Amino acid sequence: MIDKEKLKKFVKEALAEDIGKIDLTTTYLIPSRAMVKADIIAKSGGVVCGLPLIESVYAFLDSDIKIKFNVKEGAVVEPGKAVSYLEGQATSILKGERLVLNLLGRASSIATFTKAYVDKVRPYNVQIFDTRKTTPNMRFIEKYAVRTGGGKNHRMGLYDQVLVKDNHLAVLKELGGTKDSMMQDMIRSLRKRVQKNIKIEVEVNSIAEFEDALSAGPDIIMLDNMSPDEIAEAVKIRDASTSRTRRVIIEASGNIRLDNIEEYAKTKVDRISVGAITHSPPALDFSLDII
């Protein structure tokens, strides 16, 4: 599901950005009495994501607009498919046109790209996760699109999971944290300060760093920009040392693309995080045609 309250606030602000005080063209050309019918057409094939966004935009502009969906959310469609039918006051439909198409296109692009990654790793029982590389103020929509495409959300922000990255460690080292037990002390301190349901993840860049982190006992270890061979070695080390009651999750990340992701999936890593699914998915285009 998508957060409806966040969506209402977002739509209000997005429409204000686009329409401002007045839609000059529509207001001065189109009579308010004009009633029309329209189709929203997929101009390229992919996963449809964003039908609730269409409802939200037009609910804000004109609750009398009739909307009929011809596909279900998450359906895969071919180019030329009419995904939605609209009927109502022409001025309302025209004012919402660009925002609806932008949101539908963005969300569907992310869902489609995510599905491509999910399909690639399906034979290997690996999960695809997103990152925080999202459009400001649109993260809740983009992460919803990831879920629609079959992916998982890593964390929504800095507030719902601990992720100790290289720069955090660099600052700690500058403060004198160079002793062998730094990693263990850091994890122990975090365990005392965060709620028990909060996951603690540590980013590492080498097998030596991985072994150090593994001994400290975080919930997740992210292998950043490590080769498939190194990741496979880390998995073997983890499997040989993990107790029966607690298993550290291993995540691979960094420079992983559609054309090489199977090499990473074959390592038996638990999950792979891919920033590209939200920051650079190939665009899907939609049009609104008056019929």
Catalytic residues: 98, 133, 165, 203, 224
What is the CA 124 to chain-centroid distance, rounded?
21
> Alpha-carbon distance 232 to 240, whole Å?
12
The three state secondary structure string of the chain is CCCHHHHHHHHHHHHHHHHCCCCHHHHHHCCCCCEEEEEEEECCCEECCCHHHHHHHHHHHCCCCEEEECCCCCCEECCCCEEEEEEEEHHHHHHHHHHHHHHHHHHHHHHHHHHHHHHHHHHHCCEEECCCCCCCCCHHHHHHHHHHCCCECCCCCCCCCEEECHHHHHHHHHCCCCCCCHHHHHHHHHHHHCCCCCCEEEEECCHHHHHHHHHHCCCEEEEECCCHHHHHHHHHHHHHHCCCCCCCEEEEECCCCCCCHHHHHCCCCCEEECCHHHHCCCCCCEEEEEC
Instruction: Judge whether 101 and 287 are in contact, CB under 8 Å.
Output: yes
